[in-house]
Amino acid sequence: MPLLRPRGNPGSPLAGLVVVLPRSADRAGAMVAELAGRGAEPKLMPLIDFEEPESSRELDEAMRMLGQGRFEWMVITSITTVRALKQRAAALGTTLKALSGDTKIAAVGSGTATVLEAEGLHVDLVPEGTMDAVGLVADWPPPGEPRPETALRTNVFLPQADIAADTIFEGLMDKGWQVLPVVAYHTVDHPARAERRLTAVLESVSPAPAGAELEPITVEDFNRGVAEKAIDAVVLTSPSVARRLHQLSPDLPPHVLLVSIGNSTAREAGSLGLHIAATATEPTPAGIADALTEALKTRTAPKPKDDDELS
C-alpha cells in the first residue's frame, strides 16, 4: 500500500496518522500537501468521478444566456462545477470569465471562491455562517426592484451536479428569485469514461499537484488496512462519497475516524449510520486538517468512569 511519507512537523498531532482521501491525484493535490505538511500519511482511494452530460444542449444554452448578460447571479456550488464550466466554455470557443461579464457570482465556500478568483472571476458572496447550501440561502439577499435594463434577466443561473439536492433552488425561489438549474456534470463511480471525463485544468492547481506521485489504493487494500488497523481516518468530501464508501465498506470499526468536509456531507453520513468524528468549519485543506486534529481528541480522551468506579 503506497504511502507518502510525512515531510515535516513530526511533533504535530497528525504525525504518522494514515488518512485516506477518496479523490484522484489531480483533485487531491492541495489536501495531500496540507496533510503531509502536518506529518500525516495520505493515501488516495478515488471513489467517484465526474463526466460531462450526455447532451450539452441545456448547458450550452444557459452559458449563451450568461454571455448575453441574462442573469443577475451565478451560483457555484463546488470546485468541480468550476471545472465543468471551464471545460464547456472552452468547447464553445470562449472562457468562463468572458461569459460571466458583470454577472454577480456566489460561491458556497471559501475554497471554491479561491478557485474562481484564480480563474479571474470576482466573487461577490460567500456565506459568513456555514459554508454550505443552507448557509448560502440564509445569507442570500432579497431581490431588488426590477430595472428596465435587466427586465430580460432570469435572475439566477445554478449549474450543478445531476444528483444535487434542491436546497439552493428551493431556498432562492422561496426568497422571490427566479432560478434556472442546469446539470453541468454527472457524478459517476470511479473511473469516469475517458471520452466524457472532466479534464479541464484549473489555474489554482499546478500541472503536477502534490500527491500525483501516489499510486491509488484499491478498495481491497483499504478494507485489508482497516482490518489490520493500518487505516486511521477517512475524509468524506461529499455526500456521494459518503454513500459510495458505505456501499463498499458498510461496517467500518470505531477506530477509523470519519471526518466530513461540511454539514451536508455529515448529514448524509449520519443518515447512513456512519459516525462523524468531526466536521470541518471551512471546506478547505486547512479546515479538514484542523477537523482531523479535533477528531483525534475523541479517540484519545479518557472514558468517563461509571458510577461503580466513582463510588
Sequential DSSP letters for 85-126: HHHHHHHTTS-HHHHHTT-EEEESSHHHHHHHHHTTPPP-B-
Let me know whether 68 and 80 are in one domain: yes
- State how many domains the chain has: 2
Please check whether residues 59 and 178 belong to one and the same domain.
yes
Sorting pLDDT into bands at 50, 70 and 90, what band is 215? confident
Among 155-159, 210-214, 219-223, 263-267, name the one with the lowest average pLDDT.
Answer: 210-214
Q: 102-129: per-residue pLDDT in tens? A: 999 999 999 899 999 999 999 999 999 8
87 and 177 share a domain? yes
Are residues 181 and 62 both part of a single domain? yes
Indicate if 226 and 145 belong to the same structural domain: no
5 within some domain: no
Region 134-162: what's the mean pLDDT? 83
The answer, yes or no, to whether residue 100 has pLDDT greater than 80, is yes
Identify whether the C-beta of residue 183 lies closer than 8 Å to the C-beta of residue 59. Answer: yes
Residue 301: which pLDDT band, with cuts at 50, 70 and 90? low
Burial 236-249 (b: 16+ CB within 10 A, else e): bbbbbbbbbbbeee
Q: Is residue 200 pLDDT above 50, yes or no?
A: yes
Query: Do both 146 and 70 map to the same domain?
Result: yes
Residue 251, pLDDT > 90, answer yes
Q: Which of 155, 188, 221 marks a domain boundary? A: 188
Same domain, yes or no: 289 and 208: yes
pLDDT band at 147 (very low <50, low <70, confident <90, very high): low
Tell me which of 138, 153, 188 is where a domain ends.
188
Q: What is the pLDDT of residue 129?
A: 84
Considering only CA atoms, which of 44, 36, 48 is closest in space to residue 234? Answer: 44
Summarised one tens digit per residue, pLDDT across range 29-79 is: 889 999 999 999 999 999 999 999 999 999 999 999 999 999 999 999 999
- The answer as to whether 157 is a domain residue is yes
Mean pLDDT within 169-177: 96
Question: Which cell numbers hold the place of 73?
Answer: 447571479
* Residue 195 included in any domain: no
Give yes or no: residues 55 and 178 share one domain.
Answer: yes
Asked if residue 193 belongs to a domain, the reply is no
Q: How confident is the model at residue 204 (pLDDT cuts 50, 70, 90)?
A: confident
Residue 211 confidence class, pLDDT cut points 50, 70, 90: low
Helices (H), the chain: 25-37, 57-67, 79-91, 96-100, 110-118, 133-139, 167-174, 219-227, 239-248, 263-271, 285-300, 307-310
Q: Which domain holds residue 276?
A: 18-47+203-300
Tell whether 148 and 213 lie within a shared domain: no
Asked whether residue 179 is domain-assigned, the answer is yes
Same domain, 57 and 170: yes
Cell numbers standing for residue 155: 435572475
pLDDT of 176 over the 70 cut: yes
pLDDT score, position 154: 75
Average the pLDDT over 206-225 and give the result: 77
User: What is the rounded average pLDDT for all residues in the chain?
Assistant: 89
Q: Is the pLDDT reported for residue 212 higher than 60?
A: no
Same structural domain, 40 and 62? no
Specify the pLDDT at position 255: 95
- Residue 9: inside a domain: no
Instruction: Answer whether 0.85 is exceeded by the pTM.
Output: yes
User: What's the confidence (pLDDT) of residue 210?
Assistant: 52
pLDDT for the residue numbered 308: 43
State which of 188, 222, 253 marks the end of a domain: 188
Question: Do the beta carbons of residue 73 and residue 43 sit within 8 Å?
Answer: no
Q: CATH code at 208? A: 3.40.50.10090
